Amino acid sequence: MFERSPAERPMPTSTIEDYLKAIYAEQLARPGERVTTGRIAEALSVTPGTATSMMKTLANAGLVSYEPYGGVTLTGAGEALAMRVLRRHRIVELFLVEVLGMDWSEVHPEAERLEHVVSEKMLERMDALLGRPTFDPHGDPIPTARGDVATTDHPSLLTCEPGRHRVARVLDQSADFLRRLDRCGVVPGEVATVGARDDDGPVVVETTSGRHAFDRAAAAQILVEPVQDPATRS
């Protein structure tokens, strides 16, 4: 009868944190659209009924606005919480790579668990040790402590001009794909030279490790930033 009383703000469970992250990711992927329970269920590998009941829980907690048969959107509080979790996730990932020397292909599952238990204090220490980083190992932007995220707008290997580019971000973060990119030297920060493309063939890029071909689906997952290179410019 009287849900959502003002004072009682029980600590969000890790399940709730993961749902909010998933909703945020879906919202980013299709801006403007409401996120359906089906997509959420898919993203979290639960049955549709489970997602529906969780949406009611989130709505009651004031974290999403939920319209039966009409999907959800994050409220301000929901987005703020999603940002805090995303910040923890990405700082942890970078920490695992930079400080513990783990591989960028294996840090995601670890961060998926750590993001729920790392204290504010510990996060601050990691952030400081890393030098207040702004991007994680996959090139994803790290939200600030106040919850702001940089929105970048990079072309992909499929849409960029031919020429020299710096790898900025990798969207497909499956371990296999990341390991393959590692072998190719196609990792954020590295420079790759994109060859001339035809309309439906693979994209060929050259890195320090040689020449590599990516099919169009793979190429679309790799975002780049043109390099202003005086040496190559006329």
Partner DNA sequence: GTAGATTTTTTGAGTAGTCAAAACTTCGGG
Partner DNA sequence: CCCGAAGTTTTGACTACTCAAAAAATCTAC
Which residues would be at the binding site for DNA (CB under 7 A)?
Answer: 10, 13-16, 36-38, 41, 44-57, 66, 68-71
User: Contact region for a second copy (CB under 8 A) — 56-64, 120-128, 178-186, 226-234?
Assistant: 120-128
The DSSP output letter for 169 is E
* CA–CA distance, 15 with 4 (Å, rounded to integer): 19
96 binds a second copy (CB under 8 A): yes
Q: Map tokens 């997509």 to a residue.
A: 39
Q: Map tokens 């920490």 to a residue.
A: 95
- Contact between 224 and 157 (Cβ < 8 Å): yes
Residue 82 in tokens = 């999603």
Residue 140 binds which entry of Mn ion, a second copy, DNA, none, CB below 5-8 Å type-dependent: Mn ion
Q: How far is CA 129 from CA 99, 112, 123, in A?
A: 9, 21, 10
1 binds a second copy (CB under 8 A): no
16 binds a second copy (CB under 8 A): no
Q: Map tokens 């940089």 to a residue.
A: 150
**Please, what is the minimum distance in Å from the beta carbon of residue 17 to Mn ion?**
6
**φ and ψ of 132, to 5 deg:** 50, 60
98 binds Mn ion (CB under 5 A): no
Residue type, 91: I
**Please, what is the minimum distance in Å from the beta carbon of residue 94 to a second copy?**
14
Residue 68 binds which entry of Mn ion, a second copy, DNA, none, CB below 5-8 Å type-dependent: DNA
User: Contact region for a second copy (CB under 8 A) — 20-28, 115-123, 134-142, 200-208?
Assistant: 115-123
Residue 69 binds which entry of Mn ion, DNA, a second copy, none, CB below 5-8 Å type-dependent: DNA
**Please, what is the minimum distance in Å from the beta carbon of residue 117 to a second copy?**
4
User: Which distant-in-sequence residues (6+ apart) come within 8 Å of 118 by Cβ?
Assistant: 88, 92, 126
Q: Where are the alpha helices (DSSP H) in 145-233?
A: 175-184, 216-219
Count the neighbouring beta carbons within 10 Å of the beta carbon of residue 146.
8
Residues that bind a second copy (CB under 8 A): 96, 99-102, 106, 109-110, 113-114, 116-119, 121-122, 125-126, 129
Residues that bind Mn ion (CB under 5 A): 18, 93, 112, 136, 138, 140
